[in-house]
Structure 1
Amino acid sequence: MESTEDEWCAFNPMAKDYYDEGGNQYTNESGQNLIDEAPVPPKDEQEQRAAKQAKYPYLVVPKSNPYVTEKMLINFFGRALIKEMEFRRMSRVYFIYFENIGSLEAARQRVERYPNLIKCITGRPQKERDINIEKVISTEPMPKPGPAISPTERTAVNHNREVPVSGGEQKHPEFLRPPLVTKADYQKGSLLATNDATQRYLNVKYEFALERHDVYKLKDETRIPQVVLHFRSGRTIPVTTVAAPEEDKTETLLEDGVSKCVVCQNWTDTFCKLCKMPFCDASCFADVAEQHKQSCGKGEILKLDEKVGRKFPKPGLPPSGSKVRITAFEQTNVVYVRSADIQVDVAYYTVLMEVMMLGQTASKLQSGPVCGQIVLYKFEGHMSRALVLNVDDPNDIYVVCMDFGSVEVTQLDDLYECSSYLAGLPCYPVAVKLRGVPRRFVGPNIREVMYELDQSLVFDMKYSKREYDFSKGLQIVVMTEIDINRSLNRLFKTIITPVEPSVSDLGFKEDCLPYIPLSFGKNIEVVVMDNTFLKCGFVYCTSRDLAYEVSKMQRDIQEYGEKIAKCATFAPPINELCIAKYEGKWCRGLSIELKGDGYPSILFIDYGNIVPTHVTDIRPYPPQFIFPIMTTQLDLIGVPEEPTNAQIEWLEHYYPTGTGITCSEIIYCKENNTYSTRIEKLQELLSLD
């Protein structure tokens, strides 16, 4: 059969061999194939993937960098959590399947804890899949679905509860500590107006009241070179010894090249190259120039004139850009600093040594001091100058240590007479306010950081004179540690700012918080925090000092509930802490019962009342709030198991919330860790009809 011309034109054996990929072989000179052939996917691969995605929860992890490998993911999530793993080459993602939803939540928590390691999304079916199930044959009609219930919708409260609930809606009591110093104390001619002309101590605060109750489990002191840091006061006390009378005071040259100036007796590293006479600067050298000229190079001891006296650098706020050291903390945003300049540093310790040495012969105060009086305060065997602020209670006299800045509470036995010479010595610590750091409750976390910043650290302090708090009389500054370039302002703000935890995180139990028990004995004065359970025979109380701390603590909790917590609804598990709203204010709470009505029973641990609270008024408890529990349940001895209504009314009338009562005796039972009390006139009230 003859072929046509068109058929011969289409005949091209070379092109057929070129386009035939079956004959292509990508090998090197040794015969090794350079391209791995992709395995032939099974026919039912899509069905298998769909079945796994419908059966198991899974995460999708993109291979964003070479470090994301199969072994890395197994080590990250844990082999026990992973059911199966699949890598898709085309989309370059890992499909990680888990056995159940609990394993998926555990894996998600690890991703949230280390968000910089991997990124992932929760897998969901991309389209609806048909699942073959047998139809259920029934003659009964299917029930109609009920209306959807919104978690934010407030329904009726289920009053059928196993735990007792507080009756009424009384407000939580608020206790405000009276100011240490008022304007009346600065009247013209008073000692306070004379010794504090700038009215610096008008706004001074005492923020370390919890230390007197041994709340913090820290060491009493730590020793660093030549300094003892006492955690109870937050200030450093130099270790000094009084020189023996026979000691030769002319021997001033020390091994480290630092000596005492022959003029002002301050330490210096400047000296004459010929006779090794130490002096601070040109001013000190000018005072002894003539005497030095006569004795220099002759090996004679310099004899000083009586007119040559001790000199001290001028006190005050160091200029911006100066190097400073911290001497004490007053609040979370107020610290006392002094210049780290060598002359000021030496003069500062010279004043401390002068006060300690001359204070050993000082006589005790025979009568109570007055506001504004400068006295000597003995602490741990060391003397320091102090300014008396408040003497309302002779057993609790508030003083401020002038050479440190810390406010202390002491008694008359620890106060001594201060001579005019010691009172006239310069005072170098100056209070400044940290920019951007709010005033917060001094809890264990911020307190521990405060007391680690001892006087051995040097900070670079910068400020602008335009930023000045005239209401407090404080300069606003920014302080940076020069060794590691760490901002003190940012550090404090980070520590005291609470962070809302995820609802999937494990909550905090009540035993995570420290507890301050009531002192037991006779004639103990307490204040009533809540009296709604007088019908049950107990009342919640605390001491007045701790009641002030409870009210101060609410400032931080309110800030967290209003501005930081963003969770719309939260139902805490039983026996877990939370932040709940009561009468418009956020407080610390403990979940003690869950009901299906959306109102868990919340025990407000700082007061004592139990109130059903809607889930929209509850927030997760932040880990930064490790404030102690200061309220105690007191069982009333003598109250019958079922008191009459008249007896309950009399009890609530005589022991209202927010008032102080005197317990004739408080008894502590160590076996079950409970407190009970006998209250004056209790039996008389119960006998009334």
Structure 2
Amino acid sequence: MADIKDDWSDWNPIAQHYFEETSNKYEKVMEAPAKDNDNLARLTKQLQYPYLVIKKKNQFITENLLRNYFGDIIYEIEYRSVPREFHVYFHNIGSLEAAWTKIHQFPNIVHCVDGRGQQSNSFNTALLKESEVKTVAQLPPSSCEPNSVNLESRTIQLSANKKKHPEFFKSPIVIKSDYSNKSSQLAANDENFRYLNVKYEFMLERHGAYNLEETIEKGQAVLHFRSGRSIVTPKNQLEAKPTHFELQLEKLAKKCFSCKCYTDNSCKFCQMPFCNTICFDALAAVHKESCNKGSPPVIDDTIISKFTKLKLPPSGSNVKISAFEQSNVLYVRSAEIVAEIAYYKVLSDVMFRGKVAPKLMRLPHCGQIVIHKSSIQTVRAMVLNVDNPQAIYVVCVDYGNIEVTALDTLYECSDYLAGLPRYVVPVLLRGVPRRFMSPNLRSMLYELDHTYTFVLKYSEREFDPDKGMQRVILIESELNRSLNRLIKTIVTPVEPSISEIGCKEDFLQHVHLPTGKNIELVVMDNTFIKFGVIHCTILDYAYEITEMQRDMQFYGDSIAKCEFFAASKNDLCIAKYQDKWCRGVCMELVGDGHPSILFIDYGNIAAIHVNDIRPYPPQFTFPILTTEYDLLDMPVDITEEQLTRLEKHLAIGAIINCDEVIYNEVDNNYSLRLDAVQKLTM
């Protein structure tokens, strides 16, 4: 009991509990740093890491909110209570650019301080001790100047020099001299100069990039998609033979003198058979002379010889789409009962009479009416261009679409068939811009062919004399929906938000180029030729690539509002190269503000600043038409002189005749053999 304390006046149980080591949880208590040490550490950190200063405007702006808002790109967050600011440090300049882009995309969430801070919060470096200044001076210098390209940190080789992308423009099918040529019939058969400067928009289908004939079985019918129109054919086509019923029909009914179809209508005085008022009007002149005599007229093919003029159905009438030519040019015909019957009678007459038409033995003239026989259908056609006998451009006058064919598919058209009325009229959709024919737009327009009925609305004051077409609005009759608005929505790209996941390269279709010997290719890029790599495509695809760029310029200049964008690795983007917006893939981010962009339509790789990069819109589903080729027989150590000769021979935009194009299935790549390579590198 000797240890019992008698005087309890000094005893403080709280103090004893605090200073007892077994109960004290704060075993390691560090001394608060001095104010100068804090400023020195902050200055050191600001020299090492890029940062943003964010004001704490309200109680909801916390450190957890900022970490969730920016994600894993944050290195550290420092809160200063006196100015009520967060200093958010990032790993590199690329992370800072991504954070700055997100702040501009959602400016109402956090408020970033712009410009120089207040004088009271600035750090006076003169107060630093000599040793402290020496410590700051020993920091490693920045690897690159602001807005400069860091080449040392890149693992992907950039193109040797910034060469201009090649451009290829398609020649119009018909030019003005074709109308004034003495042997041409275009001026008589196309009074509105409708086909002047028209270009063929279905070259990708012709080369198999899109399905030229996509067959869908519907009962006993097969649906073919071809050059802007759908063709329905029987699943099993049988040779037409006269049946017993048809033989009896000739005894019971008579054929119309105009369209040669069976009918029971006839003139009460002379017994001349005719189907309807259209057929009767076609025979009115000769009927008037013979009817008074009480005998039907003698009809031959020379009676109806003039190519009839086109007439647009009146505003407010029902129409159907027969074909499409561009994103804003469609061909329509009347859907009224009488016009429908007359239209299909013309098609039937052309099909039956065209079977016995003689073959053309020489090249036709521009504007000449011929019979075009394909493996699917026999139609009337007007010749537009005969520069190449193996690629003759014709327009199917009863549908409106333009096709490319050869001389052996064309036959002579009689005056009677040439004089049959035309019911298909081209129209220009009001408010719909001309855009590249993407796969989504093509599939939608093919579905509209012959399946929907539209109400036609227009004002004659809106006739476009330069294009020879009437501006119209088409409204779907059942649901009262505007086709103009639908097409405009499809062709107008929408800028995706920063939070959306970007599109990868496999989002787009890769079109395979032809293989074999003696293949003509166009050089799209040769900046990696010293590594034995060259990028090429065929000439028809080069035209399409140039057409795509029109949509890229519109998106980059008018649609995209994001002032700068840092795409993730392997994501698609729209980047500006030599003042033109092009498609690209982000190959590498090194933190200097210049991601490495591979331009997939050409093949070159360049460092593009984030100010010249925009998010990739998902509406751009254009296929990739350029392929990378490995040059065979390239020397291992090529000299500068050999390289100069090779670059001159394989210049960008040059059309080369390849001795052999080989596809390697194992490596999934293409190889190119050129005899000129061996000669130029000797």
TM-score, normalization by structure 1: 0.71
- Structure 1 residues 141, 264: closer, same or farther in 2, change over 3 A? same
Q: Spell out, residue by residue over 1:90-142, the C-alpha distance to the aligned partner (whole angstroms, 9 max, x if none).
A: xxxxxxxxxxxxxxxxxxxxxxxxxxxxxxx8699xxxxxxxxxxxxxx9969
Letter in 1 for 2:504: K
- Structure 1 residues 684, 545: closer, same or farther in 2, change over 3 A? same
Corresponding residue to 2:148 among 137, 153, 156: 156
Q: How far 1:374 sits from its partner (Å)?
A: 1.6
Q: Spell out, residue by residue over 1:185-235, the C-alpha distance to the aligned partner (whole angstroms, 9 max, x if none).
A: 111532222332332211322111111233336971346799864212332
- Structure 1 residues 206, 225: closer, same or farther in 2, change over 3 A? farther
Contact 2:321 2:332 in 1 (8 A): yes
Q: How far 1:634 sits from its partner (Å)?
A: 1.1
Q: How far 1:260 sits from its partner (Å)?
A: 9.9
Contact 1:647 1:685 in 2 (8 A): yes
Matched, 1:530 2:519: no
Q: Aligned with 2:247: secondary structure?
A: coil
Q: How far 1:282 sits from its partner (Å)?
A: 12
Corresponding residue to 2:206 among 188, 200, 212: 212
- Structure 1 residues 368, 218: closer, same or farther in 2, change over 3 A? closer
Q: Aligned with 1:648: secondary structure?
A: helix
2:34 maps to what in 1?
Answer: none
- Structure 1 residues 304, 533: closer, same or farther in 2, change over 3 A? farther
Q: How far 1:393 sits from its partner (Å)?
A: 2.0
Q: How far 1:431 sits from its partner (Å)?
A: 0.6
Corresponding residue to 1:356 among 321, 328, 351: 351
2:454 maps to what in 1?
Answer: 459
Range that drifts further, 380-389 or 481-490: 380-389
Matched, 1:566 2:558: no
Contact 1:433 1:474 in 2 (8 A): yes
Aligned ranges 1:569-648 → 2 under 5 Å: 569-648=564-643
Q: How far 1:367 sits from its partner (Å)?
A: 2.6
1:179 maps to what in 2?
Answer: 172
- Structure 1 residues 123, 686: closer, same or farther in 2, change over 3 A? closer
Contact 2:170 2:199 in 1 (8 A): no
Matched, 1:305 2:296: yes
Q: What is the alpha-carbon distance in structure 1 between the residues aligned to residue 251 and residue 214 of structure 2?
A: 37
Q: Aligned with 2:479: secondary structure?
A: coil
Q: CA RMSD for the aligned pairs?
A: 3.9
Q: What is the alpha-carbon distance in structure 1 between the residues aligned to residue 395 and residue 259 of structure 2?
A: 28
Q: How far 1:343 sits from its partner (Å)?
A: 1.6
- Structure 1 residues 624, 429: closer, same or farther in 2, change over 3 A? same
Q: Aligned with 1:550: secondary structure?
A: helix
Aligned ranges 1:137-536 → 2 under 5 Å: 155-160=147-152, 161-189=154-182, 190-216=184-210, 220-222=214-216, 229-237=223-231, 244=242, 246-249=246-249, 280=276, 305-306=296-297, 315-536=310-531
Range that drifts further, 364-373 or 536-545: 364-373
Q: Aligned with 2:226: secondary structure?
A: coil
Q: Spell out, residue by residue over 1:133-169, the C-alpha distance to the aligned partner (whole angstroms, 9 max, x if none).
A: xxxxxx9969989xxxxxxx96111112211111222
Q: Spell out, residue by residue over 1:357-400, the C-alpha distance to the aligned partner (whole angstroms, 9 max, x if none).
A: 01111222223333222211112332101111112222221111
Q: What is the alpha-carbon distance in structure 2 between the residues aligned to residue 604 and residue 578 of structure 1?
A: 9
Letter in 1 for 2:185: L
Letter in 2 for 1:186: Y
Q: What is the alpha-carbon distance in structure 1 between the residues aligned to residue 399 and residue 278 of structure 2?
A: 30
Q: What is the alpha-carbon distance in structure 1 between the residues aligned to residue 546 and residue 59 of structure 2?
A: 58
- Structure 1 residues 614, 154: closer, same or farther in 2, change over 3 A? farther
Letter in 1 for 2:166: P
Q: How far 1:339 sits from its partner (Å)?
A: 1.1
Letter in 1 for 2:148: A
Q: How many matched pairs?
A: 539
Q: How far 1:549 sits from its partner (Å)?
A: 0.2
Q: What is the alpha-carbon distance in structure 1 between the residues aligned to residue 452 and residue 146 of structure 2?
A: 55
Q: How far 1:507 sits from its partner (Å)?
A: 0.7
Q: What is the alpha-carbon distance in structure 1 between the residues aligned to residue 582 and residue 626 of structure 2?
A: 13
Q: How far 1:666 sits from its partner (Å)?
A: 0.6
Q: How far 1:314 sits from its partner (Å)?
A: 8.0
Q: Spell out, residue by residue over 1:245-270, the C-alpha distance to the aligned partner (whole angstroms, 9 max, x if none).
A: 643336999xxxxx998997779999
Q: What is the alpha-carbon distance in structure 1 between the residues aligned to residue 266 and residue 607 of structure 2?
A: 78
Q: What is the alpha-carbon distance in structure 2 between the residues aligned to residue 438 and residue 156 of structure 1?
A: 39
Letter in 2 for 1:549: E
Contact 1:591 1:602 in 2 (8 A): yes
Letter in 2 for 1:439: R
Q: How far 1:344 sits from its partner (Å)?
A: 1.4
- Structure 1 residues 236, 536: closer, same or farther in 2, change over 3 A? closer
Q: How far 1:499 sits from its partner (Å)?
A: 0.3
Q: What is the alpha-carbon distance in structure 1 between the residues aligned to residue 463 and residue 640 of structure 2?
A: 59
- Structure 1 residues 236, 667: closer, same or farther in 2, change over 3 A? closer
Q: How far 1:530 sits from its partner (Å)?
A: 0.7
TM-score, normalization by structure 2: 0.72
